Amino acid sequence: MEQPHQYCENCSKPLRATARFCGRCGQPVETPEPERPSPQGAQARAPEASVSPPPPQPDWSAIPSPAQPTPMAQAEAVMGVIPNARRIKGFLGSRSQTYHLVVTNLRLLFALQTNAMIRESARRAQEAAKQQGEGWLGQVGSMMGAHAGGHYLQMFPKNILAEHPENFFVMNNHIHKVTLLQQINPNYGNRDAYEIHVHSTTSKIRLAFQHLNGKKTGDLLSRVLGNIVDFRSG
């Protein structure tokens, strides 16, 4: 026997499950719509696709930019040697030391010449001339060349400076004036004598010469230092 499952909303009469109208008052019975099955029937609802977070973007600011090439340092080369310069120091020039002035494209190198160094240079030059089969005159010429500092033309500037602890240099770009002074020296038979005055940002160096080829020296200094070289006669 079919059992009632609801009541009339108008008169509260019990209604059967299949009733479409109330038998007492005629009120239509509202039947709830059955649930519509999903398109896939009883199949469980498909899980939503998982979405991965976007990959982290690289921090380009943390990546160093390619290193810019640095300009190659200019190579230093010996351009010439001005030998036997007496560096005058002390009150009224009372003290002096003998240097070879080695001119490079970057610096002026001052190579101290002690008596022991002069003798050793002459000995090495004579020995080299003997090994090359030179006679007496050839050996004397080699010894004189060594006394004039010719061996510095074949040396690296750093080795010249390391030769003696009192060797020093002045950078060419720190020099603002060089004076080549020519004068008559009565102490040497009224022959020409020369002085070179080097004016730099830190000092003034005075060099005196008993024998010097003034034109050759002036040409060398002008070629390296340019128009800061001044020629004077006194």
Which residues of the chain are under the pLDDT cut of 50?
1-2, 4, 41-42, 70-72
CA distance 133 to 125: 13
Residue ranges per structural domain of the chain: 78-233
Closest CA to 194 of 206, 205, 208: 208
Alpha-carbon distance of 127 to 148, in angstroms, equals: 17
pLDDT at 140 (0 to 100) = 81
Count CA within 13 A, CB hemisphere, residue 142. Answer: 20
Pair 204, 197: CB distance under 8 Å:
yes
Which position has the token pair 């290193």? Answer: 67
Using a cut of 0.75, tell me whether the model's pTM lies above it. no
Give the per-residue pLDDT at 151.
86
Report pLDDT digits (tens) over 26-85. Answer: 777 776 665 565 555 445 555 555 566 676 666 655 555 555 554 445 799 999 999 999
Dihedral angle of Cα 163, 86, 211, 141, to the nearest 10 degrees:
-20
Q: Determine the pLDDT at residue 42.
A: 47
Q: Which CATH number fits domain 78-233: 1.20.1090.10, 2.30.29.30, 2.40.50.100, 3.40.50.1980?
A: 2.30.29.30
Q: What is the pLDDT of residue 21?
A: 76
